[in-house]
Amino acid sequence: MSVYLYVFHEDGIMSGYRHPCSSVKDCVLSLFQLTNETLNIWTHFLPTWFFFWKLLTGMLEMGDIKDPFTWPLLVFLLSCCVYPLTSSCAHTFSTMSERARHICFFFDYGALSFYSLCSAITYSFYTFPEKWVNSTFHTYYVPIAIVNSIISTALACYSRCPHKLKEKLCKRLRIVGFVYPYVFDSIPLFYRIFVCVGEGCTVNEANTFHYWHISLAALTGFLFATHLPERLAPGSFDYIGHSHQLFHVFAIIGTYFQMTAIELDMTVRRQWLHAHLLPITFSNTVGAALLSVISSLCIIYIFSMALFSTRSMKEK
């Protein structure tokens, strides 16, 4: 298999590939044809509109969106719309060319980093266990999460640099780029759900939904890393049931549980948080999210330009 075609090939998926030089029209039409990408696209495209509905209804229910207490939830809900929509677009147009495929997934990685940071922002203001509120770790939690989101985007984009890294190393870098920010963001949850005992552990009805979110996140990571079940039976799951489809489905369900847990924490703990939490400001909510977006766009631009320069050198 040529290096060019290998870019479009997935382990254990033997058939159902679209043409690697598809036009925009061909990509759009493929949404209504059964290929190995069709369900990847729809399993993220349809939930986007459910999350968009949640964002709109959330804004209406909150009433005054000028209230800083609502800002963490709003940026999180926005990120829940952005990451599945970006993913569905990336899968739709990734067969236009090798270069287009890399750039499409650069944006996908940036959207995931944005979602990861926005999760950390909501955890910081709604879900931190009482014992840790206003601690040193809490003070630096969001700034570190911002740095992690930048590193995550850069590492994931670098893992797609053609001909620079071996395929196995590329995938390992990508996995690290996704897993590390999630693990850091979830430290308050891990402590609250699995470690903390006694007073100040913040035990409420949201804990059950946090537990389900953590479990589904672990399952999605397992599917992404192992390429099961298609690796066990190559060709049997080309169109339906391969790991990336399952990864998408469980990721969306996990996001829903995460959203439910965050909304419950925000509602149930509101009075206590108002009394004990440090002020919520533009800079540590919307500003942090904007910084992540701008940084990711700069990283995507740099890696995209590197692809163009590589192509120009080959042509010479």
Tell me: pLDDT of 116 over 60: yes
267 located within any domain: yes
> How many angstroms separate the CA atoms of 235 and 173, rounded?
27
Q: How confident is the model at residue 10 (pLDDT cuts 50, 70, 90)?
A: confident
Number of domains in the chain: 1
Per-residue pLDDT reduced to its tens digit, 149-201: 999 999 999 988 755 556 778 888 899 999 999 999 999 999 999 999 888 89
Lowest mean pLDDT among 3-7, 14-18, 42-46, 237-241: 3-7
pLDDT the model gives residue 310: 62
What residues make up the domain containing 217?
Answer: 106-311
| 284 in any annotated domain | yes
pTM recorded for the entire structure: 0.94
How much is the mean pLDDT over the chain?
Answer: 92
Distance CA 262, CA 79 (A): 14
Model confidence band, residue 74 (pLDDT cutoffs 50, 70, 90): very high
Residue 316 banded pLDDT, cuts 50, 70, 90: very low
Q: What CA–CA distance (Å, rounded) separates 140 from 134?
A: 10
Examine residue 41 and state whether it is found in any structural domain, yes or no.
no
Q: 3-state DSSP call for residue 6?
A: helix
Residue with tokens 């439910």: 260
Q: For residue 253, tell me if it sits in a domain.
A: yes
Mean pLDDT confidence for 280-291: 96
Residue 246 lies in a domain: yes
pLDDT of 251 > 50? The answer is yes
| CA–CA distances in Å: residue 6 to residues 43, 63, 162, 166 | 25, 51, 11, 12
Query: Among 6-15, 229-238, 241-250, where is mean pLDDT lowest?
Result: 6-15
Among residues of the chain, what percentage have pLDDT more than 70? 94
Residue 78 belongs to some domain of the structure: no
Question: Would 91 be classed as within a structural domain?
Answer: no
Q: What is the 3-state secondary structure (H, E, C) of the chain?
A: CCHHHHCCCCCCCCCCCCCCCCCHHHHHHHHHCCCCCHHHHHHHHHHHHHHHHHHHHHHHHHCCCCCHHHHHHHHHHHHHHHHHHHHHHHHHHCCCCHHHHHHHHHHHHHHHHHHHHHHHHHHHHHHCCHHHCCCHHHHHHHHHHHHHHHHHHHHHHHCCCCCCCCHHHHHHHHHHHHHHHHHHHCHHHHHHHHHCCCCCCCCCCHHHHHHHHHHHHHHHHHHHHHCCCCCCCCCCCCCCCCHHHHHHHHHHHHHHHHHHHHHHHHHHCHHHHHHHCCCCCCCCCHHHHHHHHHHHHHHHHHHHHHHHHHHHHHHC
Q: 228 in a domain, yes or no?
A: yes
| pLDDT, tens digit, 9 for 90 and up, residues 258-281 | 999 999 999 999 999 999 998 899
